[in-house]
Structure 1
């Protein structure tokens, strides 16, 4: 089920068109209900009320705040990063600026003003600490970035290095606890396989993925294989939509489940590289958001199966579905039985031989 794009173009301007196409449609046609915008569960919470009351744009809400409060470190480290981003660390430059002291020189080198950049990244004594920690790359571009932008730039840094650099300098008494947290995080990250693995005998595995493009197109890709790695069916579809990546990934999972049922399979493993979707489906936790509308479709489509499991795999193990999602079909939808398009076939072979 999809919006009539041509009709919408006739009656709505571009802004409204995007807003409508961002709304996913459900094959179950559930009754309408009022929900809270900007909330993950569609219900009232203080955070969104505060942001709306302050007149803030949640679309401009800096990603760094999410990274800080979700960081797998002790509370002291999160609080420190929050104070850094809100410019409330009492460095000498700030104290002088607020007329609380007369001298703003760094107490270690006495060469430059003690700004947050100098105190934590640029002082010669501190530079050596970053090098000893093996985290010198985290201070790159510190002179041109705000604290929030700097923290956001750390997203590509190896997680273990990032966590160690955050906490070791400021909470030495909690080092052992921090290392234990890092080891736990490493274990949880490794729990999902990096490679595609065949399903049990008598069961098929259906991999699903989505691709969100900047021009208002969403691509969906689905591939089903048996316990020997042979392709049973594959499909690619392009839809006019302005969905979030999570909704697009959920739509791909719904499509995968419906295809397995249409082809008459009763035992299946549905696999995706979107951890959030797999977790929600496994817990069967339902709320009142657009995403939950799609997840409800996934659960409803699962009823014909005798046995259905959900599995998460890293992106490296979902390459076939990923390439199908980026494939441009001859029409809006294209289906293959017992084979895949030639440009996708090498990825099937690599999965089969474990590369």
Structure 2
């Protein structure tokens, strides 16, 4: 049974939730949120694209992570990459298990080799609300937020973050 709200990663890990948004005029965006085991906000991003295939965009959201990964992220025990497109997540899970010598040869995912452990996880849309907000904002403007005091973070994002943390009793 799928959960109705976001859940933190295992102790010592970070979780990156990703999503994509596609408008009828082919304007598109990808986005995501990085949080730790306590649900603490670490980073959020969004980027604009022009595309026509939502599945490809969901995959592009994961490829885009190489642009936002910071050195401090490699110090965690692992990274959980979570999305709400089951087909993309299943394909990545299968591909990850089949890799040889623990090296990814696909250059779009090679950045994952630097993490201690990587886990791809499917979640329901209800558990991916913040990433969805970022993807929809990314349609219109690329951004990276590393501080919740950033004046460009919309109240809807902050409200959703607070709601998710409150639901888990994290703050």
Task: Give me the TM-score of the superposition, normalised by structure 2.
Answer: 0.80
Aligned to 2:101: none
Answering whether residue 86 of structure 2 is matched by residue 275 of structure 1, we say yes
Secondary structure of 2:61 counterpart: helix
Answering whether residue 69 of structure 2 is matched by residue 256 of structure 1, we say no
The answer to whether the 8 Å contact 1:194/1:314 transfers is: yes
The answer to whether the 8 Å contact 1:281/1:299 transfers is: no
Please, which of 130, 135, 152 is the counterpart of residue 320 of structure 1?
130
Moved beyond 6 Å, runs of 4+: none
Could you list the runs of 5+ residues in structure 2 that have no partner in the other structure? Answer: 97-105
Greater gyration radius: 1
Aligned to 1:205: 15
Secondary structure of 2:137 counterpart: coil
1:258 CA drift (Å): 4.5
Aligned to 1:343: 156
Q: Larger helix proportion, structure 1 or 2?
A: 1
CA pair 237-223 structure 1, distance change in 2 beyond 3 A: same
Aligned length: 153
User: In the TM superposition, what are the counterparts of 1:158-177 in structure 2 within 5 Å?
Assistant: none
Secondary structure of 1:208 counterpart: strand
CA pair 297-214 structure 1, distance change in 2 beyond 3 A: farther
Task: Give me the TM-score of the superposition, normalised by structure 1.
Answer: 0.40
Give me the whole-angstrom Cα distance separating, in 2, the residues matched to 1:263 and 1:327.
Answer: 26
Aligned to 2:99: none
CA pair 251-297 structure 1, distance change in 2 beyond 3 A: farther
Give me the CA root mean square deviation.
2.3
Q: RCO greater where, 1 or 2, for CA within 8 Å and sep 6 or more?
A: 2
CA pair 276-343 structure 1, distance change in 2 beyond 3 A: same
Q: Larger strand proportion, structure 1 or 2?
A: 2
Give me the whole-angstrom Cα distance separating, in 2, the residues matched to 1:238 and 1:353.
Answer: 31
CA pair 214-263 structure 1, distance change in 2 beyond 3 A: farther
